[in-house]
Amino acid sequence: MTYPIVTNGICRYSVVCAKTADETVRYACNELRRFLFECTGAAVPVLSDICPYTRPELRIGPDVRDDPFYRTLDIAALGDEGFTIRTHGSDIYITGGGSRGTLYGVYAFLERFLGCRWFTPTVSRIPKRRELILEDVDITERPAFESRDAYWGSAFDGTFCARNRLTSSKALIANEQGGKLRWFNFHHAMYDLVPPSKYAQEHPEYYALVDGKRLTEHAQLCLSNPDVVRIAAETLKGWIRANPDCTVFSVAQNDGSGYCTCNACRALDEAEGTPCASLLNFANQLADAVRGEFPHVLLHTFAYYYSVVPPKTLRPRENVIVRLCNISCDFGRPFTEGARLDPKPYTREFIESLEKWGQIAPRLYIWDYCTDFRCYLQPFPNLDALGENIRLYRDMGVRGVFMEGDFSHGCAAYMNELQVYLQARLMWNPDLDIKEETDVFLSGYYGNAAPYIRRFLDLTQAVVRDAYRDPAFRMTIYEWPDSAFITDAYVDEAERLMNMATAAAEDDAVRYRVERTRLSVEFLKLTRMPTDTPMRSALIDAFGQRLRKYGVSEITERGWLDPSIEGLKKSRYARDIRDNYLWMYYRM
């Protein structure tokens, strides 16, 4: 059967939702109307089912007209975010397990049948056509992960996140856009739970014993101290009461090491075979303390640095999220390959811990990394690994993935727009073809310059593959511009391709995108210059002006731009990029 939604520029269908539909379902109806009009030019009526049935309908959300067809759908199996798109009789049904799922179903409909794509918050592809005629449709999708977070400055727009089905912890996703799982504190929390400024002077025993000394800076808490547990629980309950819209509260370890080695903490850790034991025991005690009053609340803790290895017998409570971090891995090839070939043990240890945590953690999340944090503009060729790693997470039972990139507000990291787009697509469906998705993005974002940007991407992936011929090579998130895969020949060819891309750009908008992308190549060229190159400082100053022109706010993690530019002048390969470092801290 055919479903002639639009013919000859005239819409033959109405968009209809239940009279009791909430704001998200009504928003979904308006998004469908908006993009049907943008694509076809057809005026699309949006109605409540309080209006009489007069012609075929696109029924959005559940229970439209109390239609018995809904009872044939297993809507409960969709969860909050899954959706189904079905045809029945003369009508088309788009409904989710929850309202957010219904909205996602509308965006999937627009993608699948009209070719719409939202590449960045400001760049989209909305194809023009005069007709939209469907055959029978039976589509059901569920997300691979319940939490999907592309943590980049270029992805903090709530509308972009909703359209790309991201559940961002940072973006302001409005309630009408389905809202999100709201977090409080999100990351390192030990000194927030038991602040040293309040307790350290009178109670140094609340803080970690390291090498025989109680440390109240750059370390952890003494997690076996019952007063620490009591104070932390009181603090946590205060957070929950003050933030009723939040569902997840972080009780995670501080950054770095410095875990407690007092007799009680050490005894538990040694018995369980890992310093994670005292940390997980602490999280479990807090989970028990809040469950009765706040049964809906989840607590979030890390398996990070010293706490990656899970304990032998301790298990996370049902209301505890364990987030496993892979900060020390080799990122240039799939982790399963790196587990065999990485000259250091970290990738293998991560894979082993991932498998074990997947067996014991009711809610296992991942913290992944996808940029060079030392030099944001440094190429980070991870596309050979990205899709396979995300599929690995799904297959290991991971329920949430956080991809940390350049989270500065002037995000300028290597190919950041492409990274965000691919991560959003793959976190929803890890089985997508990353090459096809990349080509769709490049064509839509770079227009006529896309073939040259594709060659630049392929070149960058090829040089990192060549670097792996040296068994000692590994690609970390802290590479310098003299990394083994960066050569003068690579930089010269990359510059040539960028020149061709710039010349091919069909308008100022595309030229701007190409020029912003080529900042990575300019960064490499400048930082690899010998320090006695004539006019080197002036060239770096001019580069700084170009960075400001393109809105770049940081070129190294949390570092103010001006001192970083001055640091580039002092040595080759950006070695002093963090000299006179002015550290910017903003909460995640």
Residue 69: which CATH number? 3.30.379.10
Mean pLDDT score, 151-161: 96
**pLDDT > 60? residue 25:** yes
Asked if residue 106 and residue 192 are part of one domain, the reply reads no
Asked if residue 558 and residue 487 are part of one domain, the reply reads yes
Asked if residue 11 and residue 105 are part of one domain, the reply reads yes
How far apart, in Å, are the Cα atoms of 515 and each of 133, 146, 166, 446, 569?
Answer: 40, 36, 28, 11, 22
Asked if residue 218 and residue 131 are part of one domain, the reply reads no
Give percent above pLDDT 70 in the chain: 98
* Alpha-carbon 12 to chain mean position: 39
- How confident is the model at residue 37, as a pLDDT? 98
DSSP letter at 130 equals S
- How confident is the model at residue 181, as a pLDDT? 85
Q: Pairing state of beta strands 400-404 and 363-369?
A: parallel
- How confident is the model at residue 587, as a pLDDT? 59
In a domain, 165, yes or no: no
Asked if residue 121 and residue 205 are part of one domain, the reply reads no
Asked if residue 464 and residue 535 are part of one domain, the reply reads yes
Out of 142, 174, 204, a domain closes at 142
In a domain, 263, yes or no: yes
- How confident is the model at residue 581, as a pLDDT? 66
Q: Which residues contact 71 (CB under 8 A, 6 or more apart)?
A: none
Do the beta carbons of residue 272 and residue 307 sit within 8 Å?
A: no
Out of 142, 173, 197, a domain closes at 142
User: Of 40, 15, 28, whose CA–CA distance to 116 is shortest?
Assistant: 40
Decide: helix, strand or coil at residue 512. helix
Mean pLDDT score, 215-222: 95
Q: Name the helix (H) or strand (E) containing 37.
A: helix 23-40
Express each pLDDT in 358-401 by its tens digit: 999 999 999 999 999 999 999 999 999 999 999 999 999 999 99
Mean pLDDT of all residues in the chain?
Answer: 96
Do the beta carbons of residue 101 and residue 81 sit within 8 Å?
A: yes
**pTM, full prediction:** 0.96
Do the beta carbons of residue 130 and residue 11 sit within 8 Å?
A: no
Sign of CA pseudo-dihedral 2, 108, 61, 40: negative
How far apart, in Å, are the Cα atoms of 330 and each of 66, 338, 341?
Answer: 54, 6, 10
In a domain, 581, yes or no: no
CA separation for the pair 13, 92 (Å, rounded): 9
Structure tokens at 455: 């060659």
Asked if residue 250 and residue 134 are part of one domain, the reply reads no
Mean pLDDT score, 145-165: 97
Asked if residue 196 and residue 123 are part of one domain, the reply reads no
CA separation for the pair 475, 388 (Å, rounded): 17
Asked if residue 195 and residue 130 are part of one domain, the reply reads no
- How confident is the model at residue 584, as a pLDDT? 63
Express each pLDDT in 188-203 by its tens digit: 999 999 999 999 999 9
Do the beta carbons of residue 366 and residue 426 sit within 8 Å?
A: no
Structure tokens at 76: 């409960």
Do the beta carbons of residue 262 and residue 210 sit within 8 Å?
A: no
Decide: helix, strand or coil at residue 360. helix
pLDDT band at 92 (very low <50, low <70, confident <90, very high): very high
- How confident is the model at residue 305, as a pLDDT? 93
pLDDT band at 536 (very low <50, low <70, confident <90, very high): very high
In a domain, 54, yes or no: yes
CA separation for the pair 343, 576 (Å, rounded): 28
In a domain, 240, yes or no: yes
Radius of gyration (C-alpha) of the chain in whole angstroms? 26
Q: Which residues contact 29 (CB under 8 A, 6 or more apart)?
A: 15, 16, 17, 21, 46, 60, 106
The helices-and-strands tally (H runs, E runs) of the chain is 19, 20
In a domain, 366, yes or no: no
Q: How many CA atoms lie within 13 A of 38 on its CB side?
A: 15
Q: Pairing state of beta strands 320-325 and 298-303?
A: parallel
- How confident is the model at residue 362, as a pLDDT? 96
CA separation for the pair 509, 494 (Å, rounded): 21
User: Of 316, 302, 393, whose CA–CA distance to 354 is shortest?
Assistant: 393
In a domain, 152, yes or no: no
Asked if residue 220 and residue 290 are part of one domain, the reply reads yes
Structure tokens at 59: 């029924």
* Residue range(s) defining the domain that contains residue 562: 453-574
Q: What is the DSSP secondary-structure string of 425-444?
A: HHHH-TTS-HHHHHHHHHHH
In a domain, 386, yes or no: no
173-182, 260-269, 383-392 — which is least confidently predicted?
173-182
Give percent above pLDDT 90 in the chain: 96
Out of 92, 109, 142, a domain closes at 142
Mean pLDDT score, 549-572: 95
Q: How many domains does the chain have?
A: 3
- How confident is the model at residue 185, as a pLDDT? 87
CA separation for the pair 568, 559 (Å, rounded): 13
CA separation for the pair 63, 148 (Å, rounded): 29
Mean pLDDT score, 501-512: 98
Mean pLDDT score, 461-474: 98
Express each pLDDT in 37-73 by its tens digit: 999 999 999 999 999 999 999 999 999 999 999 999 9
Asked if residue 189 and residue 138 are part of one domain, the reply reads no
- How confident is the model at residue 10, as a pLDDT? 96
User: Of 340, 334, 239, 339, whose CA–CA distance to 293 is shortest?
Assistant: 239
**pLDDT > 90? residue 585:** no
Asked if residue 236 and residue 106 are part of one domain, the reply reads no
